[in-house]
Chain A
Amino acid sequence: MLDSWAMRLIARRIGGALVILLLVSLTVFAISLLMGGDAAEAILGQSATPEAVAGLRAVMHLDQPAYLRYLIWLGGLLRGDPGTSVVTGLPVADLIAPRLAKSLQLAGLTALVSVPVALALGIVAAVWRGSPIDRFISVATIGVLSVPGFLVATMAVLIFAVRLHWLPALSSGHDTGSVGDLARTFVLPVFSLACAVVAQMIRMTRAAVCDALDSSYVEAARLKGVSPRRLVLSHALPNVIGPIANAIALSLSVLLGGVIVIEVIFNYPGVARLMVDAVATRDLPLIQTIAMIFSASYLLLVLTADVVAILSNPRLRGR
């Protein structure tokens, strides 16, 4: 079923994504150069002798020209060694690993909750287009998309934590002994994160399904007398797998930005909060690495959607 043509197409997409990742690494490195500050001085403090600073600079390759430092940094990233934190002196990888696990937990839970809900509502809105349900969903999604994530989160905290005392306002993620604790810790952050993701996914899913339902082959099937249920499930939906995969990927990429705000508000010990702290302390190696992780996740999401779209497109399969 997978012939060389589709494989070549997929290989080209992967190649393209790698090129962009390389360009992103250049961009991230260039921006962080603008941040200035001398890592050696930052580590040793103000009382260090010039000799000590010079020695450390040599060890950290800071005396090399920028393009060499970029290559050294890139080589380290590829070998899985993104350097040492300037502020704490710990390896960046050791700092990030536990935080990344926490963030993935949060993002994964959010995806798990939001994808089924969004797909179901999106398809319902498209199938009953123009009905009160559709109009309600459409107004609600516009409302949610118009409100920044930090407002959704603060309002959720106000209502459920401050007023009703149902849930904790902070989410340390530590006291996750029982299922109940887990739920209590994660409900508010996941809810706040899911809002934006779900709203966008509903809109994109609805648009994709509407397009398919408007197409001539669905029209032909309708004229043939196919039942509405079969029309949607076996004529329209198989053709929107690609666009829906795209909708899921793009909506989940909203998570990458949303998670920054949510982790700060709920004091959640994830990688995004580490990033905000790193920006505050100007910890360059940490900032660069986390920026690369976020960009790589974005590219991975988009790439996955592309590949799914290629694999699910029967027209690309037969060639």
Chain B
Amino acid sequence: MSGVAKAAGPQRRARRVSPTLIIGGLLVLFWVVLAAIGPWIAPHPPGQVVDLDAFSPSSAALPLGSDYLGRDVLSRVLVAARLTVSISFVATLIAVVVGVFCGLVAASGGWLDAILSKLFDTVSAVPSLMFGLVVVASLGASTPVLIGTLATVYTPGAFRTSRALALNVTVLDFVTVARARGERLPYIVLREILPNVIRPLAADFGLRFVFVALLLSSLSFLGLGVQPPNADLGSLVRENIAGLGFGAMAVLLPAIALASLTIGVNLLIDATSDARGRGRA
């Protein structure tokens, strides 16, 4: 997530900073900052009806107009963006931590590998949106359930990525040496394997964050995600969909916000992995 830390690597090697990196980094930085301070700079309380007109155009009081109930679009988007970013981030963090842990353990082989692989294959065989639909319908759409669902759906991917990466490393000589030295499994996993796969795993984290944010918005768009009075960017698109016909800001802005967030993360990943590829060639 930190654009600064990632920028350092390719800058050193490629000398010229690619525009993709700058745009991606700025977009991500922008949303991280907004997610952090958004609710404080929101001009109105997000739930308050401040305008008698629905879908009114922008004015001095309402910089981006009002939504379908006459609430301030800017304030609602600021608060919703925070919710989208934070829920997605926590769910991604859980998915990646659990997935990577299981993946690294599984990469050392044995019966644990067989069990974990089958288990995660099962989870990923249920299409993600369908899984979300069924779980949320069963357990209700509270924030913990949403986070748990999103994390469950994307753990298998993190598992498979980290397992594959670790398998490439476990066959290298220094791991064999560590094994021969009699090091225990936790030491080998944490000190020998993990440092060697951390960069691709960071890229995987970003990619998974995008997937999670998109699934969360899709669930919300279907009415099964974040529930009123709270709203994430997907719910904002859903509730203001009536304004689509005349291009109301209330429906366009959350859509643009969501797209710029995910595009930013994707560009950042693309730029950093591109730089790595060039460095190797």
Contacts and interface: CB of A to CB of B under 8 A. Distances in A.
A295 B126 contact: yes
B247 interface: yes
5 contacts: A23-B118, A27-B126, A31-B138, A154-B237, A260-B133
A240 interface: no
A257 B130 contact: yes
B259 A147 contact: yes
A-B complex: 9 closest residue pairs judged by Cβ atoms: A146-B262, A35-B138, A257-B129, A256-B127, A23-B122, A146-B263, A34-B138, A279-B137, A148-B214
A24 B156 CA distance: 14
Contacts of A291: 126, 130, 134
B78 interface: no
Contacts of A20: 118, 121-122, 125
B75 interface: no
A235 B121 CA distance: 33
Contacts of A290: 130
Interface in B121-145: 121-123, 125-130, 133-135, 137-139
B85 to A, nearest CB: 15
A157 B241 CA distance: 11
B240 to A, nearest CB: 11
Interface string A273-310: 00110011010000100110011001100000000000
Interface in A142-157: 142-143, 145-151, 154-155, 157
B51 to A, nearest CB: 23
B248 to A, nearest CB: 11
Contact of A24 (B122, B128, B263, B270): B122
B237 to A, nearest CB: 7
A276 B130 CA distance: 9
B118 A261 contact: no
Contacts of B244: 154, 157-158, 162
Nearest to B130: A294
Given A23-B118, A138-B270, A143 B263 contact: yes
B207 to A, nearest CB: 10
A32 interface: yes
Contact of B263 (A32, A142, A162): A142
A150 B218 contact: yes
A147 B20 CA distance: 17
Contacts of A31: 134-135, 138
A199 to B, nearest CB: 11
Contacts of B138: 31-32, 34-36
Interface in B170-215: 210, 214
A198 to B, nearest CB: 16
Given A257-B129, A276-B222, A162 B245 contact: yes
B267 interface: yes
Contacts of B122: 20, 23-24, 27
Given A19-B118, A147-B259, A264-B222, A256 B130 contact: yes
A154 B218 CA distance: 12
Contacts of B234: 148, 150
A35 B258 CA distance: 31
Given A157-B244, A287-B134, 6 more contacts: A34-B135, A260-B129, A260-B222, A276-B133, A279-B134, A282-B137
Interface string A1-34: 0000000000000000001110110011001101
Contacts of B253: none
Contacts of B214: 146, 148
B11 to A, nearest CB: 20
Contacts of B133: 260, 275-276, 279
A111 to B, nearest CB: 16
B125 A295 contact: yes
Nearest to B269: A142
B266 interface: yes
Interface in A121-162: 138-139, 142-143, 145-151, 154-155, 157-158, 162
A28 B130 CA distance: 11
Interface string B250-269: 01000100110011011100
Contacts of A251: none
A2 B135 CA distance: 44
Which of B130, B244, B259 lies at the interface centre, i.e. has the most chain A CB atoms within 10 A of its CB? B130
Contact of A148 (B125, B221, B224, B247): B221
A261 to B, nearest CB: 6
B277 to A, nearest CB: 9
A114 interface: no
B155 interface: no
Contacts of B20: 139
- Of the candidates B118, B134, B214, B262, the one having the most CB atoms from chain A within 10 angstroms of its own CB is B134
B19 to A, nearest CB: 10
A21 B125 contact: yes
A23 B124 CA distance: 11
A192 interface: no
